[in-house]
């Protein structure tokens, strides 16, 4: 079949696996990533497993993996969710043209770095400050709606955030003190690695009927924010990986690798993990919302734009496990480096987009195009309402930096050439070669490999004007 590869059922696998992608993408997938899919297909209760064209090797389930598990008799696995729980991206429309904003790009990036913490272990520079005690519990259990009374969010922001920025269950009692300590000072921070804030231009509108409700027209400016749950989510993942490694034997669960440590969904450990994961998901949505709040103030100071003019298009999460109904069956869908993309008419889609489908945001790599798409009914039946979350790496960070021999190393000159005409900055001063466009797959080919077979419809293509990396 076009743009699909099937991994046949063999050994302990419970089902065959579908991998989406064009032929060049499929031919280039690492053997290790494919083996990780085969390993996941052996888990108890797994009833569906697909991989997106941005697939690459991860921890447990590969990045780009979507795993459906029976909600009553299946397992939950932190390695199939990811370390950075609810790493996600939000897109924002800005009602100015790209020519108008170009003279102010450096000032805008500098202003953003002054209020958004960047880099490994970064602490908040936001007005919200360090959040502890009852306030921390309130935010991680209640999510973005808890920011509305304080003025950090609007009802429209809540409406256009996946799950309205509030996932349940979420009980801080299921989170370690160490995780809470790591998270308390990190709300409003970007972090490092592939996290970014990007000012973009709408380069092409493919479908005005889709782009119109999103407020997108060619030539205007958009903004993307990509980050997650920081040290809070990372600590929760590590805590529960250890818990499940020790608990598996009691439930007679023996995965092919400890990286897929799992327990039954309905076990005490499984329920506690889902509650802790909900706290991390809410933390991440709050984090991106506070960053947007601070960015709105910077745009107001530099361009005179009222904060309400920067309108949230949508916020999607990656690295999550959520209960959904597919084919009349209740499932726990693990999306690791994959994005929810429900079609027109689905009850989870905001009213504004009910007639077109939920916007799914697919960022490119640094210096390459990003896309906003909507999912289709076909994506629901073939991919559990999921699409890819980005481009996907073709080089590890070590390879890109030349730390594993000379092969694959990206030169400073190659990097500068690929970023010509784009203002860019590392907020922490880190070298950006490991985030160079050459380290990633072609975002156009990745998105087209799904659009060509009807899993998504493209609404708009966005190109970078300025990029802030953590």
Q: What average pLDDT does the segment 51-75 reach?
A: 97
What is each CA distance from 213 to 44, 352, 382, 443, in whole angstroms? 42, 7, 26, 24
In angstroms, the CA 77 to CA 253 distance is: 12
H or E element that contains 370: strand 370-375
pLDDT of 429: 64
Q: Does position 427 have pLDDT exceeding 90, yes or no? A: no
pLDDT of residue 338: 97
| pLDDT score of 423 | 93
Q: Who has greater pLDDT, 418 or 209?
A: 209
Q: CA-to-CA distance for 325 and 339, rounded, in angstroms?
A: 16
Domains and CATH numbers, the chain: 4-469 (3.90.1860.10)
pLDDT tens sequence across 296-346:
999 999 999 999 999 999 999 999 999 999 999 999 999 999 999 999 999
Beta pairing class for 456-469 and 17-20: unpaired
Which is more confidently placed, 90 or 118?
A: 90
3-state secondary structure of 470: coil
Torsion of CA 68, 440, 435, 130, to 10 degrees: -20
DSSP reduced 3-state for 64: strand
* pLDDT tens digits, one per residue of 366-414: 889 999 999 999 999 999 999 999 988 877 777 777 654 445 577 888 8
161: region left, alpha or beta (phi > 0 left; psi from -120 to 50 alpha): beta
Query: The tokens of 293 are what?
Result: 């709040």
**447-461: per-residue pLDDT in tens?**
999 999 999 999 999
> Higher model confidence: residue 59 or residue 410?
59
Answer yes or no: is pLDDT of 270 > 80: yes
d(CA 350, CA 48): 27
Which residues are tagged catalytic? 389
| DSSP 8-state symbol, 43 | S
pLDDT tens digits for range 111-154: 999 999 998 888 999 999 999 999 999 999 999 999 999 999 99
Q: pLDDT at position 329, please?
A: 96
pLDDT above 70 (res 70): yes
What pLDDT was estimated at residue 403? 56
Whole-number mean pLDDT of the chain? 94
Rounded CA-CA distance 233/273 in Å is 11
**189-216, pLDDT tens digit by residue?**
999 888 999 999 999 999 999 999 999 9
Q: What is the mean pLDDT of residues 427-435?
A: 73
Strand partners, 461: 204, 371
- Residues 389, 338: contact at Cβ < 8 Å? yes
Per-residue model confidence (pLDDT) at position 411: 82
| CA distance linking residue 38 with residue 55, whole number of Å | 14
In whole angstroms, how far apart are CA 422 and each of 106, 192, 200?
A: 10, 20, 10
35 has a pLDDT exceeding 90: yes
Place of tokens 């919200």: 128
Question: 33 near 60, Cβ under 8 Å?
Answer: no
């Amino acid at each position: 079949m076009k743009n699909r590869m099937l991994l046949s059922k063999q050994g302990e696998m419970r089902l065959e696996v579908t991998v989406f992608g064009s032929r060049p993408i499929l031919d280039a997938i690492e053997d290790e990533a494919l083996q990780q899919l085969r390993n996941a297909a052996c888990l108890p209760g797994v009833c569906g497993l697909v991989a997106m064209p941005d697939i690459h090797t991860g921890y447990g389930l590969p990045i780009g993996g979507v795993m459906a598990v029976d909600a009553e008799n299946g397992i939950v696995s932190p390695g199939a969710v990811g370390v950075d729980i609810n790493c996600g991206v939000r897109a924002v429309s800005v009602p100015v043209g790209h020519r108008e904003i170009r003279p102010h790009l450096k000032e805008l990036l500098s202003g953003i770095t002054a209020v958004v913490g960047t880099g490994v272990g970064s602490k908040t520079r936001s007005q919200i400050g360090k959040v502890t005690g009852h306030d921390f519990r309130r935010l991680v259990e209640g999510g973005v709606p808890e920011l509305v009374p304080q003025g950090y969010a609007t009802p429209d922001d809540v409406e256009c955030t996946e799950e309205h920025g509030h996932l349940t269950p979420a009980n801080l009692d299921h989170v370690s003190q160490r995780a809470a300590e790591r998270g308390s000072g990190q709300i409003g921070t970007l972090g490092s690695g592939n996290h970014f804030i990007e000012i973009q231009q709408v380069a092409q509108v493919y479908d005005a009927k889709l782009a119109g409700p999103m407020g997108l027209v060619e030539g205007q400016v958009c903004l993307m924010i990509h980050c997650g749950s920081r040290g809070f989510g990372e600590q929760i993942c590590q805590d529960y990986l250890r818990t499940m490694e020790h608990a598996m034997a009691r439930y007679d669960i023996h995965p092919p690798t400890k990286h897929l440590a799992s327990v039954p969904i309905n076990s005490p450990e499984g329920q506690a993990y889902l509650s802790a994961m909900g706290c991390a998901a809410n933390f991440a949505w709050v984090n991106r919302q506070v960053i947007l709040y601070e960015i709105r103030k910077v745009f107001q100071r530099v361009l005179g734009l009222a904060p309400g003019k920067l309108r949230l298009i949508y916020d999607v999460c990656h690295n999550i496990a959520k209960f959904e109904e597919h084919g009349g069956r209740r499932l726990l869908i693990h999306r690791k480096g994959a994005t929810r993309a429900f079609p027109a008419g689905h009850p989870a889609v905001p009213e504004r987009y009910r007639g077109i489908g939920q916007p799914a945001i697919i960022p490119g790599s640094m210096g390459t195009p990003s896309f906003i798409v909507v999912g289709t009914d076909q994506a629901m039946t073939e991919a559990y309402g999921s699409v890819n979350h980005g481009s996907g790496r073709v080089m590890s960070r070590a390879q890109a930096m030349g730390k594993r021999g000379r092969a694959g190393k990206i030169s400073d000159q190659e990097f500068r050439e690929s970023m010509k005409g784009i203002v860019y900055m590392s907020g922490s001063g880190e070298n950006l070669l490991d985030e160079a466009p050459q380290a990633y797959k072609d975002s156009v080919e990745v998105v087209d490999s799904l659009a060509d077979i009807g899993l998504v419809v493209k609404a708009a293509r966005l190109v970078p004007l300025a990029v802030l990396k953590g």
